[in-house]
């Protein structure tokens, strides 16, 4: 066999082509491949932009969803009169929201993984809109059904927004997009108190609030149908329906994440956004306007705390140090507000508490990192199920222990007992968090040292 020469030359219609030593053949012309790559990039870029637009529309859905959680807190007396019920009965009606939210979170995760977002997320927004419109009829039966529908529809908001963001943003911007998503949701929660409260006080009919949210949610569902890209069916659609959850729910870390996050969510969603105004009015003798002002600073703090705490965990590459630091600050804020309420203005303490409680989102990162890549969507659905299952369980307990005794007995002691309830929840969350594994990227670097 003869050795190849230092270079050989072949001739084609494009001119001479030099073959380097050891080459096995002639390289094909590069222009068609580049054109194909550019065409694919343009298509991918266009698809990403469409998903970003759909994500922006889903953010409005999420803002509306959070408003339905907080708005009832500023209209408890009006709801008591409309439903001819006491505060405990009204609290039970409002709490049914979390039952269907928890259960439907599992459905939302599976539906998005299986069918995509184009029709799944709009269906959720439509259910929320129908539930809001049904709430205006002013009787307990329709109110129970309305809150169940509101919870079921709301379960698609955050999960759907995260799904759309994951397809519109690159991996190095996804965490920021998720932080923005949660921040805007909490701004919706703040608006549900800070804007709706003065409107109700000024004499605006409480039903008008629900009509506005309901119509807005239905309009958003139409917009999502037109904007969201249709995802081609893939092989994942043919797998067993419950296969992802069989993986996630066999992992003990999934349960720890849900319990920790649920215990950290409850003081904001139940303590501040549902009962905060009533407790400040009754036990602390705030005016209605002052009570609304103070309570609204918890979701406002959340809006800053969620991206801030997420950024801190990413910056150091570790999840648990930031999680424990946030829980310590939460406990300190609750203790100060409960036992030394005159040390700082309530709004300042609650704003700090809201910022610190942004660490409740860190278990959402941990559960995704503690489970395989192919079940990320279902991991989000699973943690939502556990988180709001905890909330659904704690809501009636808190209402029966403390809400029914509002305006009865010593208001200072009553406020301290209620605050101690939430302080105990934060401490319990910290104890369970000791069982969590560190999943941040920094753990790998630390193990190599």
* Predicted TM-score (pTM) above 0.75: no
pLDDT in the model for residue 173: 65
pLDDT band at residue 359 under the 50/70/90 scheme: very high
Q: What angle do CA 260, 395, 350 make, to 5 degrees?
A: 70
Query: For 175-197, what is each residue's pLDDT tens digit?
Result: 667 777 878 877 777 777 778 88
Q: What percentage of the chain carries pLDDT values higher than 70?
A: 84
Fold of 47-231+240-442: Growth Hormone; Chain: A; (1.20.1250)
Q: What is the pLDDT of residue 263?
A: 96
Q: Would you say residue 37 has pLDDT above 60?
A: no
Instruction: Give CA–CA dist 373/231, Å, rounded.
Output: 19
Average pLDDT over residues 289-311: 87
- pLDDT of 380 reads 79
Q: Would you state the pLDDT for residue 192?
A: 74
d(CA 330, CA 21): 69
What are the backbone angles phi and psi of residue 10, rounded to the nearest 5°?
-115, 160
Q: How far is CA 270 from CA 196, 208, 278, 326, in A?
A: 18, 24, 12, 19
pLDDT tens per residue, range 73-124: 888 888 988 888 887 888 888 888 988 988 898 888 888 878 888 999 999 9
Instruction: List, for residues 408-444, the tens digit of each pLDDT value.
Output: 878 999 999 999 999 999 999 999 999 999 988 777 5
pLDDT (mean) for 2-8 = 43
pLDDT tens profile 60-73: 999 999 889 888 88
Domain boundaries along the sequence of the chain: 47-231+240-442
Question: What is the predicted pLDDT for the residue at 12?
Answer: 42
**pLDDT at res. 18:** 41
Find out whether 377 and 163 touch, Cβ atoms under 8 Å: yes
Per-residue confidence (pLDDT) for residue 430, from 0 to 100: 97
CA-to-CA dists, residue 166 to 45, 52, 104, 161, 354, angstroms: 14, 9, 21, 9, 26
pLDDT, average across residues 227-243: 66
The overall average pLDDT reported for the chain is 82
Q: Judge contact between 270 and 288, C-beta under 8 A.
A: no
Winning range, highest mean pLDDT, from 148-162, 163-177, 364-378: 148-162
Q: Tell whether the model's pLDDT for residue 449 goes beyond 60.
A: no
Structure tokens given for 208: 């008008």
- 46-50, 343-347, 365-369: range with lowest mean pLDDT: 46-50
> Would you place residue 46 in the very low, low, confident or very high pLDDT band (cuts 50, 70, 90)?
low
Give the residue, 17 or 341, on which the prediction is more confident.
Answer: 341
Angle between helices 140-168 and 171-194 (to 10 degrees): 150
**Confidence bin at 405 (pLDDT 50/70/90):** confident
Confidence of residue 198 (pLDDT cuts 50, 70, 90): confident
Mean pLDDT, range 145-174, rounded to an integer: 85
First-to-last alpha carbon distance for the chain, in angstroms, is 54
* Cα–Cα distance, 62 to 319 (Å, whole number): 25
Question: What is the distance between the alpha carbons of residues 256 and 314, in angstroms, rounded to a whole number?
Answer: 21
**Who wins on pLDDT, 105 or 208?**
208
pLDDT above 80: residue 34: no
């Amino acid at each position: 066999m003869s050795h190849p020469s230092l270079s050989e030359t072949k001739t084609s219609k494009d001119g001479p082509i030099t073959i380097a030593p050891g080459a096995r053949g002639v390289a094909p012309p590069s222009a068609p491949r580049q054109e194909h790559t550019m065409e694919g990039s343009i298509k991918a870029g266009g698809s990403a932009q469409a998903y970003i637009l759909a994500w922006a529309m889903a953010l409005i859905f999420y803002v509306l969803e959070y408003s339905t959680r907080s708005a009832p807190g500023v209209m408890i007396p009006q709801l008591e009169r409309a439903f001819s019920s006491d505060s405990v009965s009204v609290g039970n009606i409002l709490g049914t929201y979390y039952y269907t939210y928890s259960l439907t979170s599992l459905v939302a995760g599976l539906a998005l993984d299986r069918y995509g977002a184009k029709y799944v997320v709009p269906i959720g927004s439509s259910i929320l809109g129908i539930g809001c419109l049904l709430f205006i009829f002013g009787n307990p039966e329709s109110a129970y059904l309305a809150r169940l529908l509101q919870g079921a529809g709301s379960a698609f908001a955050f999960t759907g927004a995260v799904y759309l963001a994951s397809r519109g943003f690159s991996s190095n911007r996804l965490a920021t997009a998720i932080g923005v998503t949660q921040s805007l949701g909490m701004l919706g929660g703040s608006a549900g108190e800070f804007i709706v409260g003065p409107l109700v006080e000024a004499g605006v009919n409480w039903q008008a609030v629900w009509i506005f949210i309901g119509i807005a949610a239905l309009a958003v569902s139409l917009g999502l149908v037109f904007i969201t890209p249709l995802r081609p069916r893939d092989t994942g659609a043919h797998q067993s329906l419950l296969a992802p959850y069989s993986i996630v729910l066999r992992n003990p870390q999934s349960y720890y994440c849900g319990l920790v996050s649920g215990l950290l969510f409850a003081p904001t969603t139940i303590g501040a956004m549902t009962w905060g105004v009533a407790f400040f009015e009754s036990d602390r003798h705030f005016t209605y306007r002052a009570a609304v002002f103070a309570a609204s600073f918890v979701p406002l703090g959340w809006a800053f705390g969620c991206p801030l705490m997420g950024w801190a965990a990413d910056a150091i590459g570790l999840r648990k140090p930031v999680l424990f630091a946030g829980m310590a600050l939460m406990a300190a804020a609750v203790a100060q507000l409960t036992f030394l309420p005159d040390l700082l203005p309530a709004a300042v303490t609650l704003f700090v508490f809201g910022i610190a409680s942004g660490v409740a989102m860190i278990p959402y990162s941990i559960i995704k990192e503690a489970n395989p890549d192919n079940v990320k969507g279902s991991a989000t659905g699973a943690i939502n199920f556990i988180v709001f299952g905890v909330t659904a369980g704690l809501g009636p307990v808190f209402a029966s222990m403390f809400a029914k005794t509002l305006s009865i007995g010593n208001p200072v002691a009553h406020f301290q007992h209620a605050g101690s309830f939430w302080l105990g929840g934060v401490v319990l969350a910290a104890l369970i968090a000791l069982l969590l594994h560190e999943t941040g990227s920094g753990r790998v670097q630390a193990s190599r040292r």
